[in-house]
Each structure stands twice: as C-alpha cells, then as structure tokens.
Amino acid sequence: MKDTLERWLGTVFGLVFVALSLLVAVETAMRKLFNISLQGADELGGYALAVGATIAFSLALLGRNHIRVDVFHEHLPRRLQTVLNWLSAVSMASFAALMAWLAWYVIQDSRAYQSVSQTPWATPLVYPQTVWLIGLILFGALAVGIAAVATWQLLSGRSDALNTMLHPRSTREEIKEELDDLQQRGTAADTLPTSNHAPSIQAGAA
C-alpha cells in the first residue's frame, strides 16, 4: 500500500513538472522564433510549484525524509526515544491539519472577493487553490493516519514497531537504500536483450 501510494504520488509529481518543462520550452521557442508569448508560463509555474510542494510533503512523510534534529536522539534512553518519535508524528499531524484548515479559509476569501491572478489570464484563484487544498488534505490525512497508528502502538506497548516506523533515517539506512536501488537497476539492465550483432562479430573475428 505504501509503495503503491509513493509510486502514484511520484508519478503525478513527475508529470506535473514534465508538463511545465514542455510548456516553458514551447514558450521559449515561440518567443525566439515568432516573437509571440503565451503569457502564462510564469503563472502556471507558480501553480505547479504550489501543488508539487504538497505532493512532496506527502512523499517526504512516507519516506521519513522530513528533517529532524537527531544529534542526541541515538544517545537517549530507548523509552525516551519512543516518546520523541511519537511526539514527532503528532506534531507533524497537527501542523498538516493546521495548514489544510488555513488553506480552506484562504479559498473562502478568494471566493468571497472573487480574486483573480494578476496576469493577462486573470485566472480565478479559487481553481488552483482548490487543487492546492486537495494536496494539503492528502498530506494531512496521511500525517493524521500515521499519528493515529503511532498512538495505538504507544498505548499498546509496541514501542519497537513505533520506533521502526518513525525512527529518524540513519546514514546506514540511506546507504542501504541507495545500494538496493543500484542492485535493482543492475538486475533490470541484465534482463535487457543483448544485441544481435554480437554473434556475427565473433564469427568474423574467428
């Protein structure tokens, strides 16, 4: 489930910025060749960054990539580490819920004032802000879900499972992840079909 969600979020994130890069390329070519501008690349770039940031929040949460100051974490008693790990999940859930709640009021203000972008397109801001809110709601739902699981594990005495889920990523874990990724790439490369010209070259050499 986690891997599937990460794959889908990563795919959406990549597609957003691939589409943006293509738009910027077309905009640049049209300006250079025909002296014509779409007058919307900058605006769409801002929307892509806002939406992409919310997707990145969720990806970082699932991959335990949000920054934590863990200089003293490894040297603390195991029980205190468990409490701090649980506190990190609850703090992240509270922060994510607050962001989604404030974003909802931003959209309400945009709707009330009929706010539009200060660009030639004059896009009603409620539309891109709604997509932005959806990304924040997803981030909030994931953070609250992780905090709920962590709270259940804490109350049921499953401190090892809690620490495994929420422990700050160590350098050893990051190295292992990179090595596993390299191994998977090597395995995928080995499964590629070899060139049909190799036998003929060997035959010629013989």
CA atoms within 13 Å, Cβ hemisphere of 134: 9
Instruction: For residue 188, give both structure tokens.
Output: 């995928």
Query: pLDDT at position 170, please?
Result: 67
When computed from its CA atoms, the radius of gyration of the chain, rounded to whole angstroms, is 24
The closest of 177, 176, 145 to 5, measured between CA atoms, is: 145
- Residue 143: Cβ-neighbour burial (10 angstroms; 0-12, 13-18, 19+): buried
Query: pLDDT at position 188, please?
Result: 58
What's the pTM?
Answer: 0.80
Cα separations in angstroms, 94 against 61, 76, 90, 141, 152: 14, 25, 6, 11, 17
Torsion of CA 177, 183, 186, 190, to 10 degrees: -140
Per-residue pLDDT for the chain (206 aa), expressed as one digit of tens each?
Answer: 778 998 999 999 999 999 999 998 998 898 888 888 877 788 899 999 999 999 999 999 998 888 888 888 888 899 999 999 999 999 999 999 999 999 999 999 999 999 998 888 889 999 999 999 999 999 999 999 999 999 999 999 999 999 989 988 766 776 877 787 788 777 655 655 554 544 444 444 44
